[in-house]
A and B are shown apart, each in its own frame.
Chain A
Amino acid sequence: MAITKAAPPKEAPDKGERREADGARGRQAASPLVLTMLLLLVVVAQGPIRRGLAAPAMESWMTVFVAVVVQALPFLVLGVLLSAAIAVFVPPSFFARALPKRPALAVPAAGVAGAVLPGCECASVPVAGALVRRGVTPAAALAFLLSAPAINPIVLTATAVAFPREPRMVLARFVASLLVACAMGWLWHRLGRTDWLRPPARPSAEGLGKGAAFWASVRHDVMHAGGFLVVGAMVAATLKAMVPAAWLRAAADGPVMSVLVLAVLAVLLSICSEADAFVAASLSQFSLTARLAFLVVGPMIDLKLFAMQTATFGRGFALRFAPATFALAVVVAALTGAVLL
């Protein structure tokens, strides 16, 4: 109650100026101004900016950066709309009825349910966040988060098209991805602590009308996850534009090394899960198992996803969850590859 006692003397005299009275709020009020100035400055200086960006490496960086953002935004918007709809229109009791009571069973159920979300990984992060807030067991929501981008029909079809002579690749991808998703769900159920899951504060929707709550959730998620998406896109573009692909050739020898290298590459490149199969197909100097690792790791954890998970579930969560997912995905992909490919 300290705030209550401290506030009145300060605020009473200038209630008309209250926005300015609070320091933080004063900064906030200035943000449209800052935005306008920024945009004006860029418009005025666009000549020099364009000239500075004319180097081929820079142009290629920008193209890839814009491409990743433009490609991911529609899926992000789709995920955000779904997440807002779940948060506003679906009562929590629905999930309690739809999923098995015991978390051990809810995990595989949610993992298989991931097959119905048609999209890439940008859509699944906000949806999984909404599921957790709606009272779904985190273990089940996480299984959904990991499986949805990898096993939906669009992605599996793309994989089949990219590997016309290796239909087993589709099966291997499906099996390995589902296994990792369920294993991570169970692992979270056994070891996970709820205080690791600390989603950043979001606007409370209580007391708002349904429409207001829906749009507030959309705005919040787009601004939040979108900002992190931009971070991921910048890093991915830097790698694509700066690191020569010739380095990969040296790493293609040796079964263990090649799996690890492609797994790391999947994390760094942050390619949309609908397209990664085509990239994997062209990495023909690597073994099929290594390419399977690329396909299993990529949709589950990459730089863009890590940034978005931080935004949705908090840093403490992402720092623990991402390495565990990576390690498990590599091991499961290697084993599945050894058995199936």
Chain B
Amino acid sequence: MNRQAQAAVLFLTGVALLRAGVTDLYLRYVKAGLRPLLLAAGVVLIAAAIATVWYELRRPRVSAEPHVSAEPRDTGRAQAATAVQEAELVREVAEPREAKAARETGAARDDGATGEGGPPHSHTHREPRVSWLLVLPLVALILVAPPALGSYTAMRSGTALQPSWGYPDLPTRGTGGSVRLGLADYGGRAAYDHGRSLGHRRITMTGFIALDRGGAPYLVRMVLSCCAADAQPVKIGLTGRIPPVLQPDSWVEITGSYTARRAKDPVNGGVIPYLKVNRVRPVPVPHDPYESWGG
């Protein structure tokens, strides 16, 4: 890959990062806290692309004055180029025959270049083929923009529910008498605090639906700590007034109350607490499809 192509890839990668960071696209892949870093990295990549093009354009001009030929720029070193120019000029004065001058110039060029501890080609040629792979995430991010992880990943991995530091009291009055909780929050209270802090309160939670092999529905939210590669599901079993048809991966808002029923996750043996469902309402995919730890 030569420098122009590299500059193009750098530029496109920078633009893709900026675009992902400016829209909410990045939230499908990484936690919200990474946004400033993404934007900064995008700017740096674009700057690197511009700098590459700028130095590339400037390079021929450095040694453009002598009219014999345009080779020496490729050696990339101003000093070497100047030396060659001088040699050319001297030769031109002494021997005006073009062919000979050109031949000598070629010789001088190769001589100068090989003498500097590496073939001149190493500049432009040595970027390994592996650089081409950078095009892949670019295509994936710009054209395909894969969706956030859903039920497929969730049902293949064990629930990530962990005991927490402590469970603060719920706010006394939520909207319409129900209180909105994250899945990890509800799950922690239900599984490790035996629902003591939940009482008979009406709980509202938002997540997507996943079905296990037997077709039993779960409300799931993936929890991120850094990026989607470390995403893990928090699963809440559903019981009570469940609608007859629940599509996997559809987003719903569920209102219900604590029940002492619980199950064991077949994947890692973790605890899956249940929720007694009162009402299920379809909702659009939220702004940030993931939950983060402690949030």
Which A residues have a C-beta under 8 Å from some C-beta of B? 1, 3-4, 7-9, 11-12, 15-16, 18, 22, 24-25, 28-29, 31-32, 34-35, 38-39, 42-43, 46, 49-50, 53, 56-57, 59-60, 62-71, 73-78, 81, 158, 161-162, 164-165, 200-204, 206-208, 211-212, 215-216, 218-220, 222-224, 226-228, 230-231, 233-234, 236-237, 240-241, 244-246, 248-249, 269-272, 274-279, 281-285, 311
Contacts and interface: CB of A to CB of B under 8 A. Distances in A.
B52 interface: yes
A7 B160 CA distance: 66
Given A32-B2, A46-B143, A49-B144, A8 B106 contact: yes
Nearest to A279: B230
Given A43-B143, A227-B130, A245-B268, A204 B227 contact: no
A198 to B, nearest CB: 13
B136 A63 contact: no
B48 A71 contact: no
Interface string B103-130: 1101100110010111001111111101
A28 B125 contact: yes
Contacts, number: 298
Contacts of B225: 158, 162, 274-275, 277-279
Given A8-B106, A227-B134, A285 B152 contact: no
B231 to A, nearest CB: 8
Contacts of A282: 158, 160, 162, 232, 268, 270
Contact of B144 (A50, A74, A75): A50
Given A219-B6, A230-B137, A164 B122 contact: no
Given A31-B1, A269-B229, A62 B146 contact: yes
Contact of B229 (A50, A161, A271): A271
A200 B125 CA distance: 12
A4 B114 CA distance: 9
Contacts of A224: 127-128, 130-131
A60 B231 CA distance: 11
Nearest to B121: A24
B288 to A, nearest CB: 14
Contacts of A233: 137
B228 interface: yes
A175 B294 CA distance: 27
A220 B127 contact: yes
Size range of the interface on B?
Answer: 35 or more
Given A7-B107, A62-B144, A227-B130, A240 B125 contact: no
A63 B227 CA distance: 10
Contacts of A161: 293-294
B90 interface: no
Contacts of B216: none
A32 to B, nearest CB: 5
B38 to A, nearest CB: 6
A76 B38 CA distance: 11
B134 A201 contact: no
B109 to A, nearest CB: 8
Given A223-B134, A230-B137, A203 B123 contact: yes
Given A56-B151, A73-B13, 9 more contacts: A4-B111, A16-B70, A25-B124, A53-B144, A63-B149, A71-B227, A77-B40, A164-B163, A224-B131
A200 B230 CA distance: 32
B162 A231 contact: no
B262 to A, nearest CB: 16
Given A211-B51, A282-B268, A240 B152 contact: no
A282 B184 CA distance: 13
B78 interface: yes
A8 B104 CA distance: 8
Given A4-B111, A12-B103, A219 B48 contact: yes
B44 interface: yes
Contact of A66 (B2, B124, B140, B226): B140
B137 A246 contact: no
B133 A227 contact: yes
Nearest to B49: A219
Contact of A226 (B52, B103, B111, B131): B131
